[in-house]
Amino acid sequence: MVRRMRSELKFTPFQHCTGRNHTYLNILPHSARFSDLDVDAPALQLFPALFCTAHTHVPYIRKIANTLIVNSGSVCAPCNGDTRLSHARLTWIRAQWSPETVRLSYDRQETGRHYTTSGYLESGIDARLVYHEWRTARRMFPTWHREFKHKVQDGALDEETAVDLLVRQVLSSQ
């Protein structure tokens, strides 16, 4: 299966993750199924020496079989509890990649002011969820889609109450 997926996917060195890529990415470290993979399986030898990704807003560095997997995290909205921005630094040392997650502080007060004065938060529920992800450095969307979105759509909760409950639930579960 891995061989077929790899031959069907056309990765460029820098590419936004699309729907077709999600099947491939599901076997990477954040998947529960990944722990069941045989890392010595011949199919895993087809993976590249270095796989850089992002879009999850959670930085990580893993070595799986012969593949170094580097997720840079997020320079705008990390979702792992650390509000500092993150990016990956890859250095070629002695014929191999040496990865590092770099964290930098920035003016969060000014950024928060932009969120609240720009009109962005009035653009809809997604904007408010993005704001709370940025503010708390915690993921809001998975819980929103799983537990709250349908309640708002069905009229059981108004948006403001739902967002308030969501933020409290996410923060209490971390």
Q: Which tens digits make up the pLDDT trace of 64-87?
A: 878 899 999 998 889 999 999 999
Domain boundary among 46, 80, 104: 104
Q: Say yes or no: 66 and 142 in one domain.
A: no
Q: Say yes or no: 28 and 57 in one domain.
A: yes
Q: Where are the alpha helices (DSSP H) in the chain?
A: 2-8, 19-25, 108-117, 125-136, 141-143, 149-153, 159-173
Over 60: is that where the pLDDT of 39 sits? no
Q: Say yes or no: 122 and 99 in one domain.
A: no
Domain boundary among 65, 84, 104: 104
Structural domains of the chain, count: 2
Q: Say yes or no: 16 and 93 in one domain.
A: yes
Q: What is the pLDDT of residues 126-160, one digit of tens each?
A: 999 999 999 999 999 999 999 999 999 999 999 99
Domain boundary among 72, 104, 136: 104
Q: What is the pLDDT of residues 87-108, one digit of tens each?
A: 999 999 998 899 999 999 999 9
Q: Say yes or no: 37 and 68 in one domain.
A: yes
Q: Say yes or no: 93 and 25 in one domain.
A: yes
Q: Say yes or no: 49 and 134 in one domain.
A: no
Domain that holds residue 54: 2-104
pLDDT band, residue 24 (cuts 50/70/90) = very low
Identify which of 134, 139, 142, 141 has the alpha carbon closest to the alpha carbon of residue 83: 134
Q: Token pair 């408010």 is at which residue?
A: 128
Q: Say yes or no: 31 and 54 in one domain.
A: yes
pLDDT at 105: 94
Q: Say yes or no: 100 and 162 in one domain.
A: no
C-alpha 153/C-alpha 149 separation (Å) is 6
Q: Say yes or no: 48 and 124 in one domain.
A: no
| Non-local CB neighbours of 131 within 8 Å, separated by 6+ positions | 115, 120, 121
Q: Say yes or no: 80 and 118 in one domain.
A: no
The pTM assigned to this predicted structure is 0.69
Q: Say yes or no: 8 and 53 in one domain.
A: yes
